[in-house]
Structures are given as C-alpha cells and as structure tokens.
Amino acid sequence: MASSGRDEPAVARFVERFALVLTEAGIPRMPARVFATLLAIEDGKATAAGLAEALGVSPAAISGAVRYLDQVGMIIKARDPGERRDHYEVTDDLWYEAFGNRDKLMRTWIGALADGVAAVGPHTHAGERLATTQRFIEFLLTEMVTLMERWREQERSR
C-alpha cells in the first residue's frame, strides 16, 4: 500500500466490481471498466494509452469505450496546453452534470410519447399506458430541477 493510503490491488478490485455494477445497469463492459478506472484515478484523467495500460487491453478497445462514454456525457475529452495527446476525464460533479443534462433527452421522450398517444388513440389501453408514461416522465423532469437544487445546496453546506 502506498503512503497515500491507496491500495492498488483493492483499487483494481473496485474497478472490476463497479464496472460489473454498471454493466448490469446496461453500460457496455469496456466503457464501464474505463469509467470506473477514471473514477479511481486521483486526478480523474488519463490518456488512451494510460487507460489501455491500466486495464491491460488494446488501444482499440479504449478508443471505442471512450467514444461511447463521451457520446453519453459520462466523460470529457480534453487536451492540456502544450500536450500532444488528448486525455479523458471525469469531473468531480460528473453525476450532477450527467443527470442535469437529461432534461433534453426527457423532453424528446415526452414529445415521442405524445405522438404515440395520438397514433394509438388516447382512449385505448395502449394510449392510456403511453399517456401515463408521458406524465411520469414530465413529473421526473419537474422534480429533477428541485432535486438538483437541493443537491447543490447540500454540497455548498459541506
């Protein structure tokens, strides 16, 4: 164990365990492993080569994984001044940002569900089910704003 208190074998176990949890939630395996690795790195950032080395995989596997994670907003691709290589990073408030940016997606779902209700007919069983789903997502969208404000307040008071 390093003097910082970091236990590398325990970190490796965490990465694999958390990656498995993320995989069970629907995230593909390699992106889940990359994401868990970035979470466990002290400054939260690494190059593709560094991630490949840490995980013992090919750079090609990392390429697809970081592309996926960037597209879904779980990581950021950046380059430090004077550096020649991009790095990938997680921010300290990544969960806030990830959930906070879901409003656009949820509004898209609401619009698609409204189209579905119109298509199947609002007074059919399918129409009622779609309308209930639409109302639920509208509820989540409204509550998300309050929830995010409460989170920020809690973090400020820490």
DSSP state for residue 51 in the 8-state scheme = H
Domain 8-92: assigned CATH number: 1.10.10.10
CA distance 63 to 47: 10
Handedness of CA 15, 19, 22, 27 (dihedral sign): positive
pLDDT-based confidence at 2, cuts 50/70/90? very low
Contact 36, 22 (CB under 8 A): yes
* Residue-wise pLDDT tens digits, 90-135: 987 777 777 777 788 889 999 999 999 999 999 999 999 999 999 9
Question: What is the pTM for the complete model shown?
Answer: 0.74
Contact 51, 66 (CB under 8 A): yes
How far separated are the first and last CA of the chain, in Å rounded? 29
